[in-house]
Chains A and B, each alone.
Chain A
Amino acid sequence: MSGREEDRLDALLDREVSDWYQGVRPRPEFLAELTTRDWNRAVEGRTTARNGTWFGEHLRRLITSKRFAWAMAAGLVLAITLSALNSRTIRAFLIPPEFPILEQQTLQGDDGVREGMTVSLRSGPKVFRLVFQTPVENRKGAEAALTELCQSCAFTFTWTNDRELQVYLPKDPQLPGPEATYTVGSINVKISAHQDFLWEWDVRSGTQSKVADVTGLTAWTISPDGRQAMLARTSASDHPPSIYIMDLDSGARTGGSFVLSSIWHPDGGSRILSSDGRIMDLRGRTVEDLSGDFAQPGPGGITTDWQARGQGQWDLVVRTPDGRDHKLSLPETDDTSPSSTERVGYPLWNLHWSADGSHLLVVQNRRPITSTVFLIDTTSGTMTELPVELDDAFDPIWVWLPDGERFAVSEHGKTIVLDLHGRRVTSFEGNALSWSPRGGYILFSDRVTDMEGHTLITIPPELRAVGWRSEGILVLQGRE
């Protein structure tokens, strides 16, 4: 077979298999049900598989296992033991049923046996954490003790790697200090207060300072001007979630209702672009409704529409921050519709604004697994194809450096920095998530480095990075 024939077979396979693959669709109600499911309840087993086959099979396996028989026997013995305990001290910590559940999670081991649950319950501004210290083999005993503690509420608990059972309680009416230990039968029960804060961490000096108590909320992102944080209430029963905007200087919060995946408008911090294409003010009021499919904000403006210029030729309509629309020509494509993300399963073009708005990186995806990278100068409208060698993955992480002169692409745990000609400048181990505002520091999922790749801080597991407040100042959320 000649090279031409091979190309033709390749093209035939590309077209036919890809068309077949894109035609594979579940029942619409299946995806709708999946996306509206309460996953915390689902993992508890309250929601079973569609036709019951999965649940029935697991139930059958569980009931017929030796582990189940032992657990039943152990549970019976512990129930008898617990019933004999003096419960006066313990009952002081009963969780009233009226406290709202903030979060709830069931954990399951490799063997499919349930290992525990977590629930965070809130009372006013405080969340308390209960820790059961017990040998891992006495899990069922600890769970039985928890049942004794909370007889009228949906309590939850989780096993940690240190073989501790953690439980979230709404408050401790008689806690003698920040921490207290009790004994229930052979099990030690430790109760400790737990609050969640926003922190600022100066990566240069290593100093940390507390910004605000955000217990019960999850910080989502920092505004482009570094002055505000977007926070979501993490409530399993609160759908859609309430989202707040917090002024990082004063700690003052503004409430609103935004859809998930909301991002900041390029104007700095006075407006928000929701993932359904609406521009909203900080109180959640719609200012303008753009076409949700195309809206992609960046420092150069917001992409609002595609317009056909000819067969396979498309213009991208960009609304600049001053409200004017202008067009940028996109790479030619043989596809008839650039809005066919739904049909072809992936966007034909991924767009990435440079930090100064001067350039737009356009990654054109072609079937079966090739991507070509173009750079558009947003001032002149000129487009250049870059010689960027990508692995065949479709989902690399693209991040522009703040100077607008370099960008980074991360694939498979490696980050490569390239210049505007697509030439490699440097590389780092790990996937880079963002650069600090002036480009001196790089945030990875577990650390911050300088531009030479030297680790400046390692982010501990109890903290997670939210974003940059200013050069060298990282905002994180987590426990004290």
Chain B
Amino acid sequence: MGASTNEVEVSLVRRAREGDSNAYSELVRLHGLRAYRVAFSLLRDHPEAEDVVQEAFVTAYRNLARLKDTSLFWPWLARIVGNKARDLLRRQSAERKALKRVDRQLPAVSPGESDERAALWAAVWSLDEPHRMVVLLHYSGELSTVEVAAVLDRPVGTIRRWLAEAYKHLRGKIGKDVAL
């Protein structure tokens, strides 16, 4: 009879569907950071991630009536964030944005830090875009394979294949530089 956390979220979705802005704000509070991280993983640009997250929440609110299973708000939202981010990437000039992203994509690896860490990130960034996105989302620890598939709009089988391919690439790359 008392509400569990999941029931509360289902109730929030239902209330938001009825036009309750406060309920939707609570959903935004629950999922805002997660949505932002998904967007940033795909775009690696903070202003663009902000725009995409805003758009995704607006789109989700407008289309809440189409969410068939109210207990699946997060996977549905993650898919919308993924769609928006990939739309943005498509609209941008590939060459220009690729140059821009290279500057921003590497995590700070200080001189003297382990070769292992530097080699890992160099290997990650040597992956092509789809494989890199899969690695970042999968190893984020926040998304299931099903959710990664939703974000990237690809079948789960494709995601697993990409992961295996990426892993093979990383293993080969890192193996050359560092004895694991």
- Residues on A lying within 8 angstroms of B by beta carbon are 1, 5-6, 8-9, 12-14, 16-18, 20-21, 23-27, 30-31, 34-43, 49-51, 53-54, 103-108, 118, 120, 218, 220-226, 232, 234, 236, 238-241, 260-261, 263-264, 266, 297, 344-346, 352, 367-369, 391-395, 397-399, 410, 412-413, 431, 433-434, 437, 445, 464, 467-469
From the candidates B32, B37, B146, B171, name the one contacting A24 in the complex (CB within 8 A).
B37
Contact A54 B51 (CB under 8 A): yes
Residue of A nearest to B65 (CB): A107
Task: Please determine whether B20 and A50 come into contact, CB atoms closer than 8 angstroms.
Answer: no
Report if B177 contacts A (CB, 8 A).
Answer: no
List residues 121-143 of chain B with CB under 8 A from any CB of chain A.
Answer: 121, 124, 135-136, 138-143
Interface residues on B, range: 35 or more
Q: How far is the CA of A21 from the CA of B49 in the complex (A)?
A: 14
Q: B86 → chain A, closest Cβ, in Å?
A: 15
Contact A220 B11 (CB under 8 A): yes
Does B165 interact with chain A (Cβ within 8 Å)?
A: no
B127 to chain A, nearest CB (A): 12
A232 engages B174 (CB within 8 Å): no
Cβ contact of A434, chosen from B4, B21, B41, cutoff 8 A: B4
User: Most B CB atoms within 10 A — which of A34, A51, A232, A239?
Assistant: A34
Residue of A at shortest CB range from B168?
Answer: A1
Separation of A344 and B72 alpha carbons in the complex (Å): 22
The smallest C-beta distance from A162 to any residue of chain B, in angstroms, reads: 14
B41 touches A392 (CB 8 A): no
A51 touches which one: B24, B32, B47 (CB < 8 A)? B47
The binding surface of chain B is classed by DSSP as helix
A344 to B33, CA, bound (A): 11
Q: From residue B89, how far is it (CB to closest CB) to chain A in Å?
A: 15
> Within the complex, which residue of A35, A40, A49, A397 is in contact with B55, where a contact is CB–CB below 8 Å?
A49
**A438 shortest CB reach to chain B, Å:** 11
Contact check: which of A26, A36, A394, A434 meets B49 at CB < 8 Å? A26
B residues in contact with A239, CB < 8 Å: 21-22
Distance to closest chain A CB from B156 (angstroms): 10
Q: Contact: B71 with A433, CB < 8 Å? A: yes
Q: Does B85 contact A (CB under 8 A)?
A: no
Within 8 Å by CB of A218, from B18, B26, B135, B142, lies: B18
A369–B32 contact, CB under 8 A? no
Given known A21-B136, A26-B46, contact A14–B141 (CB-CB < 8 A): yes
CB-contact partner of A26 in B10, B14, B36, B71, under 8 A: B36
Check if A35 sits within 8 Å of B25, measured CB to CB. Answer: yes
Name the B residues within 8 Å of A49 (CB-CB).
51, 54-55
- What A residues does B7 contact at CB under 8 A? 221, 433-434
Min distance, Cβ B55 to any Cβ of chain A, angstroms: 6
In the complex, the answer to whether B1 meets A43 with C-beta atoms within 8 Å is: no
Chain B 15-29: CB-based contact to A (< 8 A → 1; otherwise 0):
110111111111011
Structural contact, A392 and B34, CB atoms closer than 8 A: no
B6 to chain A, nearest CB (A): 4
Nearest opposing residue in chain B for A118, CB measure? B19
